[in-house]
Amino acid sequence: MPNRSERAETQDLRKVGLKVTHPRMRILDILGNAQKKHMTAEDVYRLLIEQGDDIGLATVYRVLNQFETAGIVVRHHFEGGQSVYELDQDGHHDHMVCVATGKVIEFQNAEIERLQREIAEAHGYDLEDHSLVLYVRPKKVGKGR
Amino acid sequence: MPNRSERAETQDLRKVGLKVTHPRMRILDILGNAQKKHMTAEDVYRLLIEQGDDIGLATVYRVLNQFETAGIVVRHHFEGGQSVYELDQDGHHDHMVCVATGKVIEFQNAEIERLQREIAEAHGYDLEDHSLVLYVRPKKVGKGR
DNA sequence: TTGGGTGCAAATTGTTTGCAATTGT
DNA sequence: ACAATTGCAAACAATTTGCACCCAA
């Protein structure tokens, strides 16, 4: 008997015209329940293997791409080669990556968004999209002495 | 007799402790005189070949990396795989990429910079670096009719 | 002279693709 | 039944690296 979240996932897939297959369900599940919100394809693949699913890495990439096209996930290109994917659920936000720990923090700032639109305008363009990533380091408290 | 810019380049290299070699001079020259300020390693390589220099692509990558480490160039990861490099001469600025033409426009905005620092602070971090890219499209003028 | 620098080819890394077998609907 | 989907291996693209030779200091 399918539980609530399985139903929801099934809906998500049907809604965007994708067949409800085992790999897609599992990947959706992982994206929704993992501790890290931002995962690389390999991260997802590793978790699948760990939980006993026999799904190929190529499939993970294919599914993530389809999800991105379908608007289910957003893909980011932070520094360092790999892309990271995150479920597109809580609206737009930007990211802060701690260079010391790798931790990713999300934030929103209407003022910055507005300024970006203004700047594009001022140059004769319409803002279509943007990518803002802050690379930060834990504030050193009382480090002098 | 070396001209003014050759001297300047020689200085730049000596200053950061890099031997003044033919490949490095040529690459510095290209970065400084090309029409595009933002170039991929292949762009640079192609120009080298065109102007008759016999320099390997691997060397271009190696030199660009050394230049980046030395702070002579800045490397950006816009959308779409390849990295682009630009001479680090006119201070910090962010970028706007036209998704229609690929054109790259630079801009500065103190307000945005300030907000970024504030946001990092507010989360208990020091802002170390950031990357902001606006993806824009030429404003459609009088498109209604 | 000599250690850093270079070219070339081979190796890596991240991601995509061809194809035959498999599976949702 | 049939087209969509998957797994695997091979293909790819961008970048890096090993190594013998070369050249700036």
Which of A79, A94, A129 has the highest number of chain B CBs within 10 A, making it the mutation to test binding with B?
A129
Q: How confident is the model at residue B145 (pLDDT cuts 50, 70, 90)?
A: very low
Answer yes or no: is pLDDT of B142 > 70: no
Distance in Å, residue B74 CA to nucleotide C20 C1': 47
CA A11 vs. chain centroid, Å, equals 20
Q: Three-state DSSP class for B75?
A: strand
- What token pair was written down for A88? 């597109």
- Residue A90 has what pLDDT? 84
> Looking at residues A134-145, what average pLDDT do you find?
78
Range name among A73-87, B58-72, B112-126 with the lowest pLDDT average? A73-87
3-class secondary-structure state, position B66: helix
**Structure confidence at residue B4 as a pLDDT band (50, 70, 90):** low
Strand, helix or coil for residue A110? helix
Q: Which amino acid is it at B58?
A: A
Q: What pLDDT was estimated at residue B9?
A: 86
Nearest CA in chain B to A75: B79
**One-character DSSP codes across B12-25:** HHHHTT----HHHH
| Average pLDDT, integer, range A13-38 | 95
Interchain CB contact of B111 with A (< 8 Å): yes
The pLDDT assigned to A52 comes to 95
Q: B55-83: per-residue pLDDT in tens?
A: 999 999 999 999 999 999 999 998 878 99
A98 to chain B: which residues are within 8 Å by CB?
A: 125
SS3 content of chain A, % helix, strand, coil (to 5): 40, 20, 35
Q: What are phi and psi of A38, to 5 degrees?
A: -110, 115
B134/A140 touch (CB, cutoff 8 Å), yes or no: no
Q: Are A20 and A10 in contact (CB under 8 A)?
A: yes
Are A132 and B132 a contacting pair, CB within 8 Å? yes
CA A120 to CA A126: how far, in whole Å? 6
CA neighbours within 13 Å on the CB side: how many for B55? Answer: 26
- List the single residue in B130, B137, B138 with the smallest CB-CB distance to A135: B130
Q: Are B72 and B87 in contact (CB under 8 A)?
A: yes
The verdict on a CB contact (< 8 Å) between A112 and B107 is no
Average pLDDT over residues A51-63: 97
Nearest residue (CA) to C1' of D15: B61
Dist. CA B9–CA B7, nearest whole Å: 5
Residue B117 has pLDDT above 70, yes or no: yes
Q: Is B80 exposed, middle or buried (0-12, 13-18, 19+ CB in 10 A)?
A: exposed
Rounded Cα–Cα distance for residues A71 and A89 (Å): 10
Q: Report angle CA A130, A132, A137 to the nearest 5 degrees.
A: 175
Q: What are phi and psi of A123, to 5 degrees?
A: -100, 5
Please state, for a pLDDT cut of 90, what percent of chain B lies above it: 82
Structure confidence by residue, pLDDT tens digits, A82-134: 999 999 998 999 999 999 888 999 999 999 999 999 999 999 999 999 999 99
Check pLDDT > 70 for residue A73.
yes
Is a pLDDT exceeding 90 seen at residue A78? no
- The pLDDT assigned to A2 comes to 52
- The answer to pTM > 0.85 is yes
Q: How far does the CA of A62 sit from the C1' of D8, in Å?
A: 14
- Is some CB atom of chain B closer than 8 A to the CB atom of A143? no
Shortest Cα distance from A25 to chain B (angstroms)?
28
